[in-house]
Amino acid sequence: MQRLHHYPDINAMFRRLLLACIIGVLAALAVSAFRHAMLLLEWLFLSNDSGSLVNAAEGLSGWRRLITPALGGLAAGTLLWGWQRYTRQRPHAPTDYMEALESDEGRFDASSSLIKSTASLLVVASGSAIGREGAMILLAALAASFFAQRFTPKAEWKLWIACGAAAGMASAYHAPLAGSLFIAEILFGTLMLASLGPVVIAAVVALLASQLLNGDARPLYQVDALPALTAVDYGLMLAAGLICGLAGPLLMWLMDTTHRGFVALKLSPPWQLALGGLIVGLLSLLTPAVWGNGYSVVQGFLLTPPTLAIITGIFVCKLLAILASSGSGAPGGVFTPTLFVGLAIGILFAQACSAGFPGNESLPILLAMTGMAALLAATTHAPIMSALMICEMTGQYTLLPGLLMACVLASVLSRTLRQNSIYRQHVPEHR
């Protein structure tokens, strides 16, 4: 039978695996550096050492809770605006690993990428409802690119950027397999089958290095073990996948529409990001849970699902905060905010089903995790990665068959309604 791709010889393969290990370590160091820088800023400016922005917001007075995200957005926007003016006449290379992998050369604009990551650090540490993982993965890919350009031939640069991105996701989410599949599914066709070995090795080494640096080998989210699934549970998981398949395109449309609304205001980047931060600050007066990317709220709800009134109120406020932060152009990721929205949809669906299935105390947690995976699949169009990511982040691998079915259904329905994924929906207006 004819092979699809020729594998490199044994010496070349061992060389690639060794380089993948090095890149995995570099990615873990980059992610760790960003995480510690964020903790340092939270300690300096918010007097918070818990690692939770929601806890930080609860400890602040109302006026500080109001203006802190706005000031962070103003500082980040000023940094981006000043850098754009400084480099206006300079030719620009990609500042994002997606763009670098799709370019001809696979080359980063290192200085612009570092400025972008610093701006992301400012908005994340000041409470904006945007994910920190975007900057973490970018820095990991940038570290891989820096290493590759000095020690590997140009033909391999894209491979090592892909390894760095996968390793960054593995380090940020404790999910090496999902990080590898993220590269394989999102960028399908850009990597040969033989290249997946280094990607997986880099991701696993990054996870091990992160565990060594942090001294914690637990999954990202702590969840109590769930009972064996029944046919009814599988049916409800599929129903949740159907709902998320409809909600995914709606969420992307809301993000796109909000972004266009901010652009229509014709504000300079400092004031545009400050306005987004101010909206988050106003919403935080109603509930501090809108601060940050939603990690601590997701963790709390997975341990103790809230009542209908609480989840509805927090869901509405958090969704508005996410739209304000992403729409204003705040640099950062949307993975963790999307996980929160999916969790809220799952819990709301479980509350609606509770009358028909009394006594099933684990149903809200089951559908919460299904909502997280299915909405992620609906927005990224990467169902296998999404299902496996939730299993790796929670340690609940027995849910994998049901999550796969729900994610495939959500992804197919979402792709039917909206062809582009969340990575393709708009190009930043400020370069």
pLDDT digits (tens, 9 = 90+) for 242-259: 999 999 999 999 999 999
CA neighbor of 77 nearest in space, from 262, 252, 253, 322: 262
Condensed to tens digits (0 to 9), the pLDDT of residues 371-384 reads 999 999 999 988 98
Nearest CA to 368 among 211, 200, 190, 243? 243
Residue 392 tokens read as 């790796």
Q: Do 145 and 238 have their domain in common?
A: no
Res. 186: pLDDT tops 70? no
The region of weakest confidence among 82-86, 93-97, 224-228, 399-403 is 93-97
Q: What share of the chain has pLDDT > 90, as a percent?
A: 45
| Contacts of range 420-426, beta carbons closer than 8 Å, 24 or more positions apart | 420/252, 421/186, 421/252, 421/379, 421/380, 421/381, 421/382, 422/252, 422/255, 422/334, 422/338, 422/379, 422/380, 423/98, 423/186, 423/380, 425/252, 425/255, 425/256, 426/256, 426/259, 426/260
- Residue range 126-144: mean pLDDT, rounded: 88
In this structure, are 206 and 322 located in the same domain? no
Residue 349 and residue 379 in contact, taking contact as beta carbons nearer than 8 Å:
no
Question: pLDDT, tens digit, for every residue of 95-122?
Answer: 677 777 777 677 777 888 899 999 999 9
The reply to whether 249 falls in a domain is: yes
At 159, the pLDDT band (50, 70, 90 cuts) reads confident
**Do you know the residue count of the chain?**
431
CATH of the domain at 269: 1.10.3080.10
Packing angle of the helix pair 231-264, 269-284 (nearest 10 deg): 130
Whether residue 143 contacts residue 339, with contact meaning beta carbons closer than 8 Å, is answered with: no
Q: Looking at the structure, do residues 119 and 21 belong to the same domain, yes or no? A: yes
Domain end point (choices 181, 212, 243): 212
Whether 269 shows a pLDDT value over 50: the answer reads yes
- What are the residue ranges of helices labelled H in 61-96? 62-86
Q: How does residue 5 score in pLDDT terms, banded at 50, 70 and 90?
A: very low
- Number of compact structural domains in the chain: 2
- Per-residue pLDDT for 94 more than 80? no
- Tell me which range, 21-25, 221-225, 304-308, is most confidently predicted by mean pLDDT: 21-25
* pLDDT tens by residue, 201-217: 898 999 899 888 877 77
Residue 382 lies in a domain: yes
Please give the residue range of the domain that contains residue 187. Answer: 8-212
Place 332 in a pLDDT band, splitting at 50, 70 and 90: confident
Query: What is the phi/psi pair of residue 430, to 5°?
Result: -110, 120
Helix 231-264 and helix 400-417, axial crossing angle in degrees, nearest 10? 40
Domain-embedded: residue 366: yes
Q: Which residues pair with 131 in a beta bridge?
A: 333
What is the Cα–Cα distance from 353 to 305, expressed in whole angstroms? Answer: 14
Q: Are residues 195 and 254 in the same domain?
A: no
Residue 217 belongs to some domain of the structure:
no
- This prediction has a pTM of 0.85
The pLDDT assigned to 4 comes to 43
- One domain for residues 277 and 195: no
Q: Is 262 contained in some domain? A: yes
Q: Are residues 362 and 261 in the same domain?
A: yes
The pLDDT confidence band at residue 179, using thresholds 50, 70 and 90, is confident
In this structure, what are the phi and psi dihedrals at residue 178, rounded to the nearest 5 degrees?
Answer: -65, -35
Q: How far is CA 148 from the centre of its chain?
A: 25
Judged against a pLDDT cut of 80, whether residue 425 lies above it is answered with: no
Q: Which of these three, 212, 241, 275, is where a domain ends?
A: 212
Shared-domain flag, residues 127 and 18: yes
Listed in sequence order, the residues at least 6 apart from 330 whose beta carbon sits closer than 8 Å to its beta carbon are 73, 76, 120, 123, 128, 130, 273, 276, 277
Quote the DSSP letter at residue 79.
H
Asked if pLDDT for residue 266 goes beyond 60, the answer is yes
Question: 239 lies in a domain?
Answer: yes
Contact (CB, 8 A) for 270 and 70: no
Give buried/exposed letters for 145-164 (b at 16+ CB in 10 A, else e).
bbbbeeebeeebbbbbbbbb
d(CA 109, CA 67): 33
Rounded distance between C-alpha atoms, residue 260 and residue 328, angstroms: 9
Helix-helix angle 176-186:157-173, to 10 degrees: 140
Q: What is the pLDDT of residues 385-412, one digit of tens each?
A: 899 999 999 989 999 999 999 999 999 9
d(CA 23, CA 167): 8
